[in-house]
Structure formats: C-alpha cells, structure tokens
Structure 1
Amino acid sequence: MLRFIINPHSRSGKGKKIWENLKSLLPQDLIYQQFFTEYPGHGSKLAAQLTKEKEEPAPIVTIMGGDGSLNEALNGFHMENAPVLGYLPTGSGNDFARGMKLPADPAQALAHILNPKYFYQLDYGAVCYGDKARPASRRFLVSCGMGYDAAVCHQMNQTKIKKLLNAVHMGKISYLIIGIQQIIHCRFTDGTLKVDKQASIPLKNIAFISCHNLPYEGGGFPFAPGAKVDDGYLDLCIVTAKSRLRFTAVLFTAMLGGRHTRLNGVKLIRCREASLRLNAPLPLHTDGEVLGFYYGMEITCHPRELPTVW
C-alpha cells in the first residue's frame, strides 16, 4: 500500500498542481491513498494516524513537500510501527534530498519509489529543550541548531521575499539575503558543551552550533560535510568567532564546498549524544522549523530506526 502526505502549499503554492501531474504517472492498477495537509502541524497528525497500528509488510508513506514537511511526518510517526519513508522534494531548501542524493525532480523521485532500487535504515536525531517545568522534545532528520542558523530559519519563515523568489526559481537568493542580514543582527554568547558524557568543554563567543544527520542545511550549506545518515552518529559543527568579520569568513568559505572546516573557530565533533548549556538564550530549530529561544539543548542519535526507499 502506498500512502502520500502532500503539502499543497509547497513550491510557493504549486504543490497541488505538481501532485495532479504526478498522479498521471501512477500505474492505473496501483492502490494508494492521498492526504493533503491543511495547516501547520497537520502533517504530524496525519503521520500519526497512518502509523497507529502495526502493518506487515510496512506501508510506504511518501511525503511531498520540503524539509519542514518531512519533519512534521517524522514527529508524527509511531516509531514502533515505523513505515517505509518515501520523499518527493518540492521545498525551497531540499537539504534532505541534496544530502541523500535524491533526484531534485519530483517525477524522477516518484519513479524511484515505484521501482525502488535501495532500501536503507536511516538514523534520526532527537533534541530535548525547555526547562524542568515545561520540557519538550522533537525529532529531526536533517539537522538541528542553535544560534545563527536558527535565526536565519526564523526570518525565512516570516519573510515575503522567500515566496517571491521561489516563484521565479531563485529561492537560494533569499537564504543569501537573510543570511547577510543575520550576520549583523545575530547574538553571540558563551556556554559549555558536553559530548558523550565526557568532560564539559567551555566555549566563548558561540555564533552557532548545528547538529547534523546529513551534511547540508540552510538550502545547501555543507556545515558538516562528513555527516552520514546511517552511521549511528550525529556531527556537530561548532562555530565561535571573536568578530563578525571573522564569522563572515567562515560562512563564505562554507559556501565554497565546506572549506570552513579548516578555519580557526570551527570545530567538528562526531557523537552519539551531546548537551549544550548557554549563558543567554538563542533560537533553536529542527530541520528549519524554529521552536523558540532557549538556554540549551540535549541531542541524541537514534541509529538505523527509520526505513527509507528510493
């Protein structure tokens, strides 16, 4: 059984039309179900409904949308009844598709799902945040982060520039514009990082700390070029900077194929779990979805728990 969760508002509102075109490519004798998301968070509710009971064999649940649509589904799945995940990329960033080397064309991606060549067991991450009175947690498939990267995501989700540029297939420029703005406005703070229950590492002038299950975030920035989605580890990219000029150099070299890893103030750590504590609150995101401002986070890798097909 094939099931599709479709974000009709993806690709600047063209998602529904794209899906109608894709349906014409489905075999006439194929049995499938389609579900359209109607509001933010609806994808999680649909995913929960579709995985409420155990099925053998596990159904293929295909998400059509962007990284945010994938994140909603992942956070709705009952993982004890985990489906086989399929993906049709129609987002603006598409960092999951980029990191997995999936076809950017939804029609080609659909062909892979209908005639699969690869089945993988993917890792996913979970982040805990909030305080003792109101603890919260959320899963992520691509990345999570605190600081500059989350600030860019926050503004991206609010600006009208993104929709305008996506409409003319220039969505990446919106990331560049907002990224430059946030270099000026983002906050730096101090804190401590504890990795795999080792001694705490003091950090000064934290610009951002991103945690990666896949190499890219922010529409193609390879902040963790060595991250692998099925190795049982998460890759931390820690960026500290004494000045905004030096921080700009880090971001510029990151655009050039991940060369930022050679610079002072950039550190990559591979871990199974980590705990970050900050002196001042910074924004937190999971797969580009901003959760608010917090004084830290705790992350954990869940190795090879998500079946995927393409």
Structure 2
Amino acid sequence: MRSFTAVVNPSAGGPGSGSAAAATLLRTTRLLREAGAEVDVEYSRCLGHATELALTAAEDGRVVLAVGGDGMVGCVGGALAGKDATLGIVPAGRGNDFARQLGLPTDPAELAPLLLEGEPRAVDAIEANGVPVLGSVYAGVDALANHYANRSRLLRGSASYYVGGMRAVATWRPVRYRVTIDGVPHEWDGFTVVAANSGYYGFGRRIAPDARVDDGLLDVIILKRSPRLLFFQMMRELPTGAHVRRREVEVLRGREVRIEQLAPGERPLRYGADGELPGRLPVTARVMPGALRVLAPLPDSPRGR
C-alpha cells in the first residue's frame, strides 16, 4: 500500500474558492485512508516551501500529491523531475491544465483508485532558465493576461482568464521576437510565443493541440502580427485548437527553444511558466525527456494523451 504526502496550496482556485479546494482534498484523502493508505497533509506557505516539503516526502519514499492548480503542480513536479520519486496530482486550482493534458479525473471517486493502484507514467518536463517546470513556457500577451488573471479578486476560473486576455490584447503592441529552435534562429513581429510540453494553458485553451508530454519535443506556437480584431477571433478558437490552421500562426518543434525580445526599450517582457511569472526575457526552454514519474492514465487509455 502506498503512503502519500499531500502538499497543499491553501489559496488554490483564487479568492472565494477555498471551500471547493478543501472539499476536493478532504474527499480524496478520506478515500485513500479508507483504502488503508497513510496520508499526511502539509500546507505550503509559498512555492519555495512547497518544494522543500515535496523533496522531504520523496526522500522518505512517499508519493507526493500536488494539491492545487498549475502553479503548485509545476512547482512540486519540477522539484521531483529527474529524481527517483512519484508525483500524484489532485486538481484543485483555477486552471488545472497539466492535469487536463494527462487526462486526470477531477472527481475524487475516480481519482483515488488511480492514485492507489495506477502505474507511474514517465512524462517530459521543461528546464526554463535552469528551473524545471511542466506545462509550457510563454512570453507576450498571454503572460500579461496571466498577470491580470492572477490578480483578479472578483473572477475565478475561465472568466478570470477570459477577462484578463481581453484586457491584455486591448492594450498590446506587437513585439519583435527572436526564437531560436535547436540553434536555428527565426524572427517575427507578433503577439506571443509559446514553447509547449502540454497542449493546454489558460484554463483549457488548446494552444498546442498536437503537443504530447512524452515525445521528447516542445511544440513552439507563434502568434504573428495581425489586426487586433483577428487576434480576438483567434482567442475564441483556442478552446478547440482551430487557430493553428491560420496563416498568422506558425507551428514548429524542437528540443531547445530560446525566446528573446529584440529592442526591449522601456517595455521588457516577462515570461510565464505553469501559471506563474518567474522572470523577464530572454528565456531558454529545454525539454527533459521522461524526467518525471506521475500517476496518470497511460497514453493508450481513453483518458491518456
């Protein structure tokens, strides 16, 4: 029988959602304990503290449960990448996009059997300026939208991302990017660049519909310069992935992606990773093939991707 340490983000889901996240955690831990598993619960004070808790639990041979959204999952999963450890995910945040990519159920009644009996699956991670993350690294209007969504006090879930995106696009001026993929440079004027391990970001938006977490590659999506109205139309196509068929969208793949802002001037851009904004451009994203073992449906299962 597995033993678990749940590392919990107490503010998962944003303002007003604490009770929902707590209910998900309580139901999941109750089902695990009823099955005979030992479960410890640790509440993190910050992402750095979450990393410490995850590493300590992994050293003790416990399955580490990341309880929260993409920020917590990326932090805990990144800490375990490349180590002899197993990650479990309890989706309880605002976006839950990496869990969505893996096909993880959100109902504790479906999730608990997977955590108890599922076989760990090897998936890729990303090293972003030396820091392991899981889902994607991005720069441009989406990072600004991410900033607005994270600061929202009145909206939760998809509404916060949608309003944040509209606000970001309304004031955005296209940027000149240099994107170097496996040593080959490309330059564009555009809205955003995404180096994606997972196909989803921003609460279920399929920014990279063909991305896989186990192919050893990053899907690079470039949204080029276009009329603002057309960009709003592309935003509406993100949930289905239909935007990649437009000529204003470039799709490339590689193992190492460096994103630079040419002539940043007075507006140096921040980059985002797993729902957080860790720094400013440039950023180098390198794939870490099979670096993480996670309890998730296998690729050939109905849920797995």
Q: TM-score range by the shorter chain?
A: 0.7 to 0.9
Distance 1:213 1:80 in 2: 16
Distance 1:91 1:150 in 2: 18
Check if 1:253 corresponds to 2:237. Answer: yes
Check if 1:74 corresponds to 2:77. Answer: yes
Counting only pairs closer than 5 Å after superposition, residues 82-231 of structure 1 correspond to structure 2 as 82-116=84-118, 118-128=119-129, 137-162=130-155, 166=156, 171-198=157-184, 200-203=185-188, 205-231=189-215
Q: How big is the shift at 1:80?
A: 4.8
Deviations along 1:188-229, whole A, 9 cap, x unmatched? 21122211123x2121x2200011111110001111000000
Q: How big is the shift at 1:108?
A: 2.0
Instruction: Report the residue type matching 2:4 in the other structure.
Output: L
- The equivalent residue for 2:68 is 65
- The equivalent residue for 2:303 is none
Distance 1:308 1:45 in 2: 19
- Consecutive unaligned residues of structure 2, counting only runs of 5 or more, are 297-305
- The equivalent residue for 2:28 is 22
Deviations along 1:29-81, whole A, 9 cap, x unmatched? 32232211133432122123234x4x6xx53211111111111213433x453
Distance 2:293 2:73 in 1: 14
User: Where in structure 1 do 4 or more consecutive aligned residues deviate above 4 Å?
Assistant: none
Check 1:18–1:242 CA distance in 2 against 1; reply closer, same or farther (3 A cut).
Answer: closer
Say which SS state the counterpart of residue 99 (structure 1) adopts: helix
Say which SS state the counterpart of residue 166 (structure 2) adopts: helix
Instruction: Report the residue type matching 1:87 in the other structure.
Output: I
Check if 1:47 corresponds to 2:47. Answer: no
Distance 2:199 2:142 in 1: 14
Q: How big is the shift at 1:253?
A: 2.2
Q: How big is the shift at 1:301?
A: 0.2
Deviations along 1:240-268, whole A, 9 cap, x unmatched? 1132223222222223x111111122011
Deviations along 1:75-101, whole A, 9 cap, x unmatched? 433x45331111110111110121111
Q: Is the 8 A contact 2:128 2:284 kept in 1?
A: yes
Q: Is the 8 A contact 2:152 2:160 kept in 1?
A: no
- The equivalent residue for 2:270 is 283
Distance 1:60 1:220 in 2: 27
Correspondence for 1:32 among 27, 33, 39: 39
Distance 2:22 2:225 in 1: 44
- Consecutive unaligned residues of structure 1, counting only runs of 5 or more, are 129-136
Correspondence for 2:253 among 270, 276, 285: 270
- The equivalent residue for 1:132 is none
Say which SS state the counterpart of residue 210 (structure 1) adopts: strand
- The equivalent residue for 2:18 is 13
Say which SS state the counterpart of residue 32 (structure 2) adopts: coil
The sequence identity of aligned pairs, in percent, is 27
TM-score norm. by structure 1 comes to 0.85
Say which SS state the counterpart of residue 223 (structure 1) adopts: coil
Check 1:24–1:74 CA distance in 2 against 1; reply closer, same or farther (3 A cut).
Answer: closer
Q: Is the 8 A contact 2:66 2:89 kept in 1?
A: yes
Instruction: Report the residue type matching 2:199 in the other structure.
Output: P
Q: How big is the shift at 1:142?
A: 1.0
Q: Is the 8 A contact 2:51 2:75 kept in 1?
A: yes
Distance 2:283 2:45 in 1: 30
- The equivalent residue for 1:133 is none
Distance 1:293 1:243 in 2: 26
